[in-house]
């Protein structure tokens, strides 16, 4: 079914047409434009539309108020086209297949970039906006490994774990989708605008909210159902027990999707949300990407080879010493500068000089306590 986006944007602005009724109307008539032209009797024949509501809808569609509704839809499409975006409706073949299966999928998505059939195998990677070096390291490691295996990474473009997940997937030359809680022409946080632009070329930037919509706090819990809804499964990296990532985990469970969690050290001051999910048997404990792949193997349909290593391309201009230091860094944990210097056979001062070069080239990160890890 081909659905005209202009008409679809108009329908929710008509009194009496909520999301549930809108879906019923479009499914009944097959074309949103026919809803605007329908008589009260035709409207009342639709399931869930009583006679009084049908009469109100028909009257409004023939009133002068429709001028403003049409102006709103035209403005939305103008703003969307200005940023090179598209409106993908629930009835379009491009609409993410997993998202169609949830209880309350959005009737349409404002997007920049493209959807792909492999998005059905994507993994959501979510967590706190204030991660520790432990959380950052594992968000980047898991996201890069997932991307290296050909599995798209989905997150919410927020500060912290979300940003780490998107950036790591891009560095691994993988695909990533960002679902945001504002209009796609109003990136939040603003410092992630360059990251959002990169995502549009290697995946998609997605929102159910109108063009120009502000990043209001109430938007984010609701957008989380889209993050988990597009994904095959959700990985919670690091979060408090009341963090937004816990909402995403809950929506994933409600959608009958798998949830995985990385355990947190038990000596942390605050209770860990990931540990609670594991303790309450709501999430499976994972220590590496292969744990996720093994659990999902029956549904991946040979999309990947679980035994194939993740390959990464190192910059061609690495010096001999930079390459030695990088190879001395463990793949799965940060290392203190003194231990790294000993492993590489260089002095601490020389190691620090070459680490700066590796940081500039975007393949090494320094965290608190003079700890260094691969990106």
Q: 264, 229 in Cβ contact below 8 A?
A: no
The range of the structural domain enclosing residue 355 comes to 320-374
Tell me how far apart the alpha carbons of residues 85 and 79 are, in angstroms, rounded to a whole number. Answer: 9
Q: Using the predicted structure, report yes or no on whether residue 374 has a pLDDT greater than 90.
A: no
CA 31 to each of CA 28, 63, 86, 271: distance values in angstroms, whole numbers, following the listed order: 8, 21, 19, 51
pLDDT band at 98, cuts 50/70/90?
Answer: very high
Residue 305 has pLDDT above 90, yes or no: no
Query: Residues 171-192: what's their mean pLDDT?
Result: 97
Domain match, 76 and 181 both: no
Torsion of CA 220, 222, 226, 232, to 10 degrees: 100
Mark whether 288 and 348 lie in a shared domain: no
Q: How confident is the model at residue 41 (pLDDT cuts 50, 70, 90)?
A: very high
Tell which of 23, 57, 82 closes a domain: 82
The CA distance from 233 to 39, in Å, is: 44
Q: How many domains does the chain have?
A: 3
Percentage of the chain modeled with pLDDT above 70 = 95
Percent of the chain with pLDDT over 90: 73
Asked whether residue 366 is domain-assigned, the answer is yes
**Does some domain include residue 350?**
yes
Are the C-beta atoms of 243 and 126 separated by less than 8 Å? Answer: no
Question: Residue 310: what pLDDT?
Answer: 44
Of 170, 155, 181, 178, whose CA–CA distance to 235 is shortest?
A: 155
Residue 242, domain member (yes or no): yes
Mean pLDDT, range 41-70, rounded to an integer:
95
**CB atoms inside a 10 Å sphere around CB 298:** 6
Q: Are 373 and 334 in contact (CB under 8 A)?
A: yes
CB atoms within 10 A of CB 44: 17
Domain match, 278 and 150 both: yes
Comparing 345 with 220, the larger pLDDT belongs to: 220
Q: Is the pLDDT of residue 367 over 90?
A: no
CA distance 260 to 123: 10
The CATH number of the domain holding residue 287 is: 3.40.50.450
Q: How confident is the model at residue 302 (pLDDT cuts 50, 70, 90)?
A: low
Q: Which residues of 203-218 are buried (b: 16+ CB within 10 A; e: fewer)?
A: bbbbbbbbbebebeee
Q: What is the DSSP letter of 243?
A: S
CATH number of the domain to which 350 belongs = 1.10.10.10
Q: Is the dihedral of CA 49, 53, 54, 60 positive or negative?
A: negative
Element of type H or E holding 12: none
Q: SS3 sequence, 173-199?
A: CCCEEEECCCCCCCCCCHHHHHHHHHH
Position 307 scores a pLDDT of 40
Closest CA to 106 of 225, 233, 218: 225
Residue 17 sits in the same domain as residue 138 = no
pLDDT at 308: 44
pLDDT of residue 313: 61
Q: Are 145 and 156 in contact (CB under 8 A)?
A: no
237 is a domain residue: yes
Q: Which tens digits make up the pLDDT trace of 193-245? A: 999 999 999 999 999 999 999 999 999 999 999 999 999 999 999 999 998 99
How is 131-146 classified by DSSP, letter by letter?
A: --HHHHHHHHHHHHHH
Is residue 188 in a domain?
A: yes
Tell which wins on pLDDT, 191 or 304: 191
pLDDT at 346: 87
CATH number for position 30: 1.10.150.20
Between residues 215 and 320, the one the model is more confident about = 215
Residue 32 belongs to a domain = yes
Residues 134 and 48 in one domain: no
Question: What mean pLDDT, rounded, does the chain reach?
Answer: 91
**Whether 338 contacts 349, CB under 8 Å:** no
DSSP tag of 317: T
Q: How far apart are CA 228 and CA 231, in angstroms?
A: 5
Asked whether residue 305 is assigned to any structural domain, the reply reads no
Name the residue with higher pLDDT: 374 or 274. Answer: 274
Examine the fold and report which residue of 300, 333, 365 is the final residue of a domain before the chain moves on: 300
How far apart are alpha carbons 127 and 147 in whole angstroms?
Answer: 18
Please state, as a whole number, how many other Cβ atoms lie within 10 Å of the Cβ of residue 2: 9
Is a pLDDT exceeding 50 seen at residue 306? no
């Amino acid at each position: 079914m081909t659905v005209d986006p202009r008409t679809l944007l108009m329908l929710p602005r008509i009194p009496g047409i909520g999301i549930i009724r809108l879906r019923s109307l479009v499914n009944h008539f097959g074309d949103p434009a026919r809803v605007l032209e329908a008589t009260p009797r035709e409207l009342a024949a639709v399931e869930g539309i009583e006679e009084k509501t049908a009469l109100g809808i028909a009257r409004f569609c023939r009133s002068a108020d429709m001028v403003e509704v049409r102006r709103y839809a035209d403005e939305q499409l103008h703003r969307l086209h200005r940023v090179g975006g598209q409106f993908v409706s629930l009835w379009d073949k491009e609409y993410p297949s997993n998202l169609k299966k949830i209880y309350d999928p959005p009737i349409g998505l404002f997007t920049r970039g493209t959807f792909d059939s492999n998005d059905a195998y994507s993994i959501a990677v979510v967590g706190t906006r204030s991660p520790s070096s432990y959380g950052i390291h594992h968000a980047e490691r898991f996201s890069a490994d997932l991307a290296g295996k050909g599995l798209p990474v989905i997150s919410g473009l927020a500060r912290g774990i979300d940003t780490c997940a998107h950036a790591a997937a891009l560095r691994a030359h993988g695909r990533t989708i960002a679902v945001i809680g504002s209009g796609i022409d109003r990136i939040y946080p603003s410092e992630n605008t360059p990251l959002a632009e990169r995502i549009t070329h290697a995946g998609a930037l997605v929102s159910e909210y109108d063009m120009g919509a502000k990043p209001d706090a109430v938007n984010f819990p609701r957008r989380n159902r889209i993050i988990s809804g597009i994904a095959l499964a959700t990985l919670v990296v690091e979060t408090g027990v009341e963090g937004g990532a816990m909402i995403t985990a809950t929506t994933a469970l409600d959608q009958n999707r798998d949830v995985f969690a990385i355990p947190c050290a038990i000596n942390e001051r605050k209770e860990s949300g990931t540990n609670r999910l594991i303790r309450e048997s709501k999430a499976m404990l994972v220590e590496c990407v292969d744990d996720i792949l093994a659990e999902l193997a029956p549904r991946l349909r040979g999309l990947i080879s679980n035994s194939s290593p993740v390959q990464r391309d190192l910059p061609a201009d690495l010096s001999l010493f930079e390459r030695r230091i990088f190879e001395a860094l463990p793949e799965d944990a940060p290392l203190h500068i003194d231990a790294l210097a000993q492993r590489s056979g260089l002095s601490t001062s020389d190691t620090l000089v070459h680490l700066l070069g590796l940081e500039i080239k975007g393949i090494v990160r320094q965290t608190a306590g003079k700890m260094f890890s691969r990106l």
